[in-house]
Amino acid sequence: MEAGFTTVRNVGARGFSDVALRDAINAGDVPGPRMLVSGPALSITGGHCDNNLLPFEYHASSEGAADGIEAVQHKVREIIKYGADVIKICATGGVMSKGDDPNTSQFTLEEMKAIVAEAHRLGRKVAAHAHGAQGVSWASEAGVDSVEHGHLMDDASIAALKKNGTYLVPTLYLMDWHRENAARSNVPEYSRRKMEMVSQVGQKNVAMAAGVKIALGTDAAVYPHGLNAHEFGVYVRLGMTPLQAIQSGTLNGADLLGWSDKIGTIEAGKWADIVAVDGDPLQDVSTLEHVKFVMKGGAVVKNEYVK
């Protein structure tokens, strides 16, 4: 919140810790942004978002692991039961997980359609982690509301996003951060190799996705919280205007969350969320990395202009 993000969507937290944090913030027990949260992400057994770090005798499995249509339907209902505002699924392998491939799809198209149908029927949107092209295409065809990452897309998967009106949340600054901090980051070698592979093509592939709806997202805390606004600068570097980059985190973000009537613009009847910086972000979007003033819902929560 002190970095200027007054509303966030958290997609993936074991033990429903994000549900507890959301509720604590809403109760006024701790300061923080408004949160829409997913609880545990849905994963195939052994996939990205499952627990793959312990040997067989521990029989360790994540709370979101499920296989088959009936099982994923049950898992969606269970996660909603315990407080999820949105459903997160892992449609492909990932970078930070062991034993999977970011290019490889995980849930079948039929399983993802069942997840989306159940979530939408119960009033929840669906966010899909997906790097590889087939996983991006299947997630979009299944009707997810957003694809997170999309770093290994191809022309066909980009076309699917456009056709279906699926939001892409690119999470690109994490590549810059890891490149700059690789020597001192405590990342396992298997993750380091996958990050290098994804970084070689990820930003270029997202830059090719002209015409796809973009909402800003950061993948914090894969890198430290508070650096979230660096994402704007990557979008501008890849061809967006500063205004388009800012709108990805305001207008478009509000639309993706389903909260366009509450946030995203400053107008009568909406929550008064305002940030202030020294300078004009339409001329230099990096000024948003140094927020001096934050108002959330009409209450000032940060003010460096008053000593």
149-158: average pLDDT:
96
Complete domains list, the chain, with CATH: 7-270 (3.20.20.140)
**24-40: pLDDT as tens digits:** 999 999 999 999 999 99
Side chain identity at 34, as an amino acid letter?
Answer: R
For the record, the structure tokens of 94 come out as: 């990932």
- Alpha helices (runs of H) in 122-261, residue ranges in sequence order: 133-142, 155-164, 173-181, 189-207, 230-237, 242-248, 251-257
Above 80 in pLDDT, residue 185? no
User: Would strands 167-169 and 146-152 be described as parallel, antiparallel, or unpaired?
Assistant: parallel
182-187: average pLDDT:
75
pLDDT band at 279 (very low <50, low <70, confident <90, very high): very high
Give pTM, 2 decimals: 0.95
Above 90 in pLDDT, residue 196? no
pLDDT band at 202 (very low <50, low <70, confident <90, very high): confident
Catalytic residue among 88, 125, 194, 302: 88
| Cβ count within 10 A of residue 307 | 4
What's the chain's average pLDDT? 95
261 is catalytic: no
149-171: average pLDDT:
97
Side by side, the strands of the sheet bearing 146-152 are 86-90, 125-132, 146-152, 167-169
88 is catalytic: yes
Catalytic residue among 85, 219, 273, 296: 219
**209-264: pLDDT as tens digits:** 889 999 999 998 888 899 999 999 999 999 999 999 999 999 999 999 999 999 99
